Amino acid sequence: MTQESAGLDTGIQIIDSSYIKLSGRLNSLRAAIRNMVCRYTIDDAIAYLEEYAIVHFWQEEEYMKRFNYPAYHAHRKAHEHFFEELHFLREELQNIRSAGLNGSYELSVETVQLVTDWISGHVRMDDKALGTFLCQLKCVDHEVGALSLM
């Protein structure tokens, strides 16, 4: 478990496993920055974040709807804002590519900051609250990742 994923557990296995992967990707991007190869890896990092957001947010939102989570609309709005930020990063990458470059240090740092802020804010607060809510309903993860009431 990475430093970022420590303390992120919500009690919902399928959600928690995505945080571990997200933290690993964040650490990989930080290493690429340190090794000065981030301009070659930023496209993969942004693509991963886009896929993460689509899959992970869909899972969370399905759970929230299924169990009538009271903070659903605010939580979903945070997801939408993250998507907007990712869209901005993708556009920035396309502009960099139009200039004939693979990526940039600055874009990599922006991406790290976005994910770091997301983990320290939304995940540590909003997603933990969702996990607490679901666990209070005695929801459990099954092997296929579906939630059900005990």
pLDDT single digits (tens) 50-77: 999 999 999 999 999 999 999 999 999 9
Structure tokens given for 132? 């607490």
- Domains contained in the chain, CATH given: 13-149 (1.20.120.50)
Q: Is the pLDDT of residue 45 over 70?
A: yes
Pairing outcome for strands 147-149 and 139-141: antiparallel
Of 94, 126, 90, the C-alpha closest to 110 is: 90
The model's pTM: 0.84
CA distance 36 to 142: 42
The burial of 30, by beta-carbon neighbours within 10 Å (0-12 exposed, 13-18 middle, 19 or more buried), is given as middle
